[in-house]
Structure 1
Amino acid sequence: MLLRHRDFRWFWVGETVNRFGSSVSTVALPLIAVSVLQATTFQVGLLSAAAWLPWLLIGLPVGAWVDRWSRRPIMQLSSAISLVLFASIPLAARAEVLTIEWLLAIAVLTGIASVFFQTAYTAYLPNLLPQADQAEGNAKLHGSASAAQIAGVGCGGLIVQAAGAVNGMYVDASTFLIALLCISAIRYREPRQQNTTHTPLATEVLAGLRLVAGDVWLRTLTIFGAVSNLGLMGYQSIIVVFLVREIGVSPGVVGALIAIASSGGVVGAFLGRRVATAIGTARATLFFELALPALAMLIPLTSKGPGLALYTVGAFCIGVGVVAGNTIKSTFRQSYCPPELRGRLAASTSFLNYGTIPLGALLGGALGQVLGLRTALWITTAGVPLAGLVLLFSPIRRQRDLPSGELVAVGSVDSRLPR
């Protein structure tokens, strides 16, 4: 059992606490902007977008940098920077210099730290665990990440209510201190890089993109992720407004419904590896990413009273499918990609996948404004299972399992196509 693996335990706790802190900040920062700085709706939206902006600005070069350096120090430095930045918010408020511009800068800088942490964490796990344990490790990490996000969103409001919007950031900052201590407790040290050549950064970035574009398996999964995020963020960006204004649900009940629905991610982390073992990784990917998310179409049918269960069931099944699918795909990429390119692969796929997140949010808001909230939900939730057609019309549908073993022909089309 991986729980007996000392270094993995520390890594698991550190990454989970980091996710918890990030989730708390997604609630706390907008509350500070609204309640303390009287920010406009546009400014609050800009604050949310600022956290994702670094993926578009530096996501690709970070992958190349991570492949050049040891990953553990990167995660330590990222946690330390987030600790200092979030702690600066109450200090700035005490000095009466806190502004919306300050919060925007914090959101961008902590977003940069998150890009480095997430990219390094993805590339570090295959070094920490043998290949036979990576599926279990990914399941535990994805499951705890989902639980941490649920708890973080719920606790964010409670922390702000108990300590105040600004002082609550001390609690948020402390989570990154815990993450820093956990990662520092890991004894495993990566072997020194033997490559002494200095390849131009642009060349290494292009190598990561060619790896994704030139391999049918990686290309298919990346395109699917980008298209899927359009639908996911499209409906998620307007669901709170829909529940409050169209259905008449109180804010407290909205939070409870979203928390229940989000718990599907924990179930997905539990089921992903087990279903993949029973029916094959390729078939399980189709089930979790196409068949199960079809229940997203229940969400626009949501109504008052018992009809609220339609939203809960639909969103819960989406959560199961997304996290289970991510668990399977993460394990596949880690075993399939050469070690020296794992950072660039993580950055390239994240750049392309996360780049559609702000577009999806803008799409959902625009459709809701022009066509109405329920119509917008029909369109955006339909996009969730429709994205699975990318997988259905790919070689994945003819396979029981995704390829095993490491990719040899980097940057070229993989020759191991279905027969």
Structure 2
Amino acid sequence: MTSAPTTTAPVDAKGRWPRSFQLLYAAALVDGIGFHVSQLAVPVLAVSLLAATPGQVGLLSALSTAAFLLIGLPAGVWVDRLPHRAVLVTADLSRAALVASVPVAWWAGWLTIPQLYLVVLLTGVGTVFADVAAQSYLPELVGRSRLVAANSLMMSTNATMQIAGRGLGGLVVEALTAPVAVVVDAVTFAVSGAILARIRTDASRRLPPRATGGFARQLGAGVRHVFASPLLRPLALSTASINLTMQLTTTMLPVVFLRELGLGAAALGLFLGAGGIGALLGALTARPLAERIGHGRALWLPGLLVAPLGGLVALIDDGPMVWLAAFGWLALAWRTGIGNVVGVSLRQGTTPDALLGRMNATFRFLLTGALTVGAVAAGLLGQYVDVRTTLVVGAVANGLTWLPVFCSPLRALHRPPPTD
């Protein structure tokens, strides 16, 4: 299968990013703030205002990503059939309306845990389409030759939003209550959709050929592309493992901070913000690291190096241990930031344009599905064993997640091969 000619980015005379990518970037910037505020505010709202149990917190987290398991794979086929910008705008505006229903219900006195379950599940459906469409749109907007640079910019921005969004979320929750923090997310979804609606791509650029065959055949082509590849298969297994083990920890952190340690939402936001700092450092160092030691080594060596530091998170406690745990969390996020930039660029750079939506959907199904499994496992362990054991299991398992890449041909890959 041949790919569309997207190897050359439509840059201006000064070498600046094309305006279409600038708008996509601006939308991600706005949306990222609200998303990370809400990511902190919703579980805090459930724990502090609705008295949610550890099991309910786990289920809430699982439902936020369950849509990737339910419709993740077919979403790739639909995205390959639809204009990417239209998918992005529709997803943003739909999520704005859904998220806005939470503070409205709270102020009316109607908010319940079941409503939170429904909102996070349906919002997750919008996120499925938005994530797959955005990653499939990027090669068209910047060209394949600039994918690593573009992904580095996008990932570093997302990491910055983790720092600002979660820190801001903690402060807003502490000062103005969690429902007000959720309002921020609704507004940013709406603003992001308005920005994306302004994208005008070059109509003269040839679109990739439309996939042929029935729906099931098209879906299967994307799955086969990932699992038949000696490069993409280990990448998928490793990254899914990272997501699952990190989720074991993330899901229980609100319970640890708010109930066990009594440190409050602001402290939780600052702790999670340390992860944002790590992800930002990872995104910024990914490109020079990959160029120096090769893309393959950049995907497994950082995981080996930070494996012992993950145990610090499981030992979190009052006093100095909070700072040591935050350092461990930063180190884990640094490794993840590197993997996001290098891994996503590898996926996009080795996949023909006509398969991008289905390839990205397959990865999102696996990676975000792993978050769902991790959240469910965290809820069960936290409810029926204890919260601390959940953190230990997450730390130990995370220390092994670099092995699928190390035990594959991806281990020593210097640069991704071009698409066929």
TM-score (norm 1): 0.87
Match of 2:417 in 1: 404
Match of 2:273 in 1: 259
Given the superposition, is the C-alpha separation of residues 179 and 350 from structure 1 closer, same or farther in structure 2, using an over 3 Å criterion?
same
Mapping for residues 179-198 of structure 1, pairs under 5 Å: 179-189=192-202, 195=209
What is the identity, as a one-letter code, of the residue corresponding to 1:104?
Answer: Y
Given the superposition, is the C-alpha separation of residues 242 and 355 from structure 1 closer, same or farther in structure 2, using an over 3 Å criterion?
same
Report if aligned partners of 2:162, 2:275 keep a CA contact under 8 Å in 1: no
What is the identity, as a one-letter code, of the residue corresponding to 1:66?
Answer: V
Post-superposition offset of 1:48? 2.5
Q: 1: distance between equivalents of 2:396 and 2:50?
A: 38
Post-superposition offset of 1:171? 2.7
Q: Which residue among 127, 130, 133 is the counterpart of 1:114? A: 127
Q: Is 1:361 paired with 2:375?
A: yes
Mapping for residues 21-170 of structure 1, pairs under 5 Å: 21-33=34-46, 42-93=55-106, 97-170=110-183
Q: 2: distance between equivalents of 1:315 and 1:157?
A: 17
Q: Which residue among 262, 273, 295 is the counterpart of 1:281? A: 295
Secondary structure of the equivalent of 2:291?
A: helix
Report if aligned partners of 1:262, 1:315 keep a CA contact under 8 Å in 2: no
Q: 1: distance between equivalents of 2:58 and 2:77?
A: 31
Q: 1: distance between equivalents of 2:60 and 2:393?
A: 26
Match of 1:416 in 2: none
Report if aligned partners of 1:290, 1:388 keep a CA contact under 8 Å in 2: yes
What is the identity, as a one-letter code, of the residue corresponding to 2:416?
Answer: P
Number of aligned pairs? 405
Given the superposition, is the C-alpha separation of residues 344 and 237 from structure 1 closer, same or farther in structure 2, using an over 3 Å criterion?
same
Q: Is 1:380 paired with 2:412?
A: no
Match of 1:414 in 2: none
Post-superposition offset of 1:22? 2.0
How many percent identity over aligned positions? 33
Question: Which range is displaced more, 339-348 or 279-288?
Answer: 279-288
Post-superposition offset of 1:288? 2.4
Report if aligned partners of 1:82, 1:176 keep a CA contact under 8 Å in 2: yes
Match of 1:348 in 2: 362
Q: 2: distance between equivalents of 1:315 and 1:241?
A: 17
Deviation readout 1:301-337 (Å, 9 max, x if unpaired):
5554333333122111111100111100111111100
Given the superposition, is the C-alpha separation of residues 193 and 331 from structure 1 closer, same or farther in structure 2, using an over 3 Å criterion?
closer
Match of 1:415 in 2: none
Report if aligned partners of 1:220, 1:390 keep a CA contact under 8 Å in 2: yes
Post-superposition offset of 1:152? 2.1
CA RMSD of aligned residues (A): 2.7
Given the superposition, is the C-alpha separation of residues 194 and 293 from structure 1 closer, same or farther in structure 2, using an over 3 Å criterion?
closer
Q: Say which structure, 1 or 2, has more relative contact order (CA 8 Å, 6+ apart).
A: 2
Mapping for residues 194-205 of structure 1, pairs under 5 Å: 195=209, 199-205=213-219
Report if aligned partners of 1:234, 1:363 keep a CA contact under 8 Å in 2: yes
Post-superposition offset of 1:390? 1.0
Report if aligned partners of 1:24, 1:152 keep a CA contact under 8 Å in 2: yes
What is the identity, as a one-letter code, of the residue corresponding to 2:346?
Answer: F
Given the superposition, is the C-alpha separation of residues 122 and 196 from structure 1 closer, same or farther in structure 2, using an over 3 Å criterion?
closer
Match of 1:6 in 2: 19
Q: 1: distance between equivalents of 2:317 and 2:49?
A: 35
Q: 1: distance between equivalents of 2:246 and 2:99?
A: 28
Post-superposition offset of 1:164? 4.4
What is the identity, as a one-letter code, of the residue corresponding to 2:295?
Answer: T
Deviation readout 1:197-240 (Å, 9 max, x if unpaired):
76321111111111111111111111112222222112333345
Given the superposition, is the C-alpha separation of residues 44 and 189 from structure 1 closer, same or farther in structure 2, using an over 3 Å criterion?
farther
Deviation readout 1:361-394 (Å, 9 max, x if unpaired):
3334444566655454333212112111111111
Q: 2: distance between equivalents of 1:240 and 1:192?
A: 48
Q: Is 1:219 paired with 2:236?
A: no
Q: Which residue among 14, 30, 34 is the counterpart of 1:17? A: 30
Q: Is 1:176 paired with 2:186?
A: no
Q: Which residue among 297, 322, 326 is the counterpart of 2:340? A: 326
Report if aligned partners of 2:30, 2:191 keep a CA contact under 8 Å in 1: yes
Report if aligned partners of 1:293, 1:321 keep a CA contact under 8 Å in 2: no
Q: 1: distance between equivalents of 2:336 and 2:198?
A: 31
Question: Which range is displaced more, 10-19 or 133-142?
Answer: 10-19
Deviation readout 1:229-277 (Å, 9 max, x if unpaired):
222112333345456676x462243432332243100100100011111
Uncovered stretches (5+) of structure 2, i.e. residues with no partner:
1-13
Question: Which range is displaced more, 19-28 or 76-85?
Answer: 19-28
TM-score (norm 2): 0.87
Question: Which range is displaced more, 42-51 or 350-359?
Answer: 42-51
Secondary structure of the equivalent of 2:414?
A: coil
